[in-house]
Amino acid sequence: MIDVEVGWMIVSSLSPLLFAVGAAGVFVRRSSLAMMAGILFMIFAAVLGLVGFDLRSALQGDAEASAGQALGVALVIVVAAQVIVAVVLLVARVRIAARKADASGVTPW
Task: State the 10-residue block means of pLDDT for the chain, 109 residues long.
Answer: 66 86 89 83 85 74 68 81 84 83 66
Give me the pLDDT at residue 23, please: 93
**H or E element that contains 61:** none
| CA–CA dist 47, 76 (Å, integer) | 8
**H or E element that contains 2:** none
Give me the pLDDT at residue 64, please: 64
Q: What is the DSSP letter of 105?
A: S
Question: Residue 10 region, left (φ>0) first, then alpha (ψ -120 to 50), else beta?
Answer: alpha
**H or E element that contains 42:** helix 32-59
Q: Minimal CA–CA distance to 52: which of 79, 78, 20, 14?
A: 14
Give me the pLDDT at residue 35, please: 85
The crossing angle, in degrees rounded to 10, of helices 4-28 and 32-59 is 160
| CA–CA dist 36, 16 (Å, integer) | 18
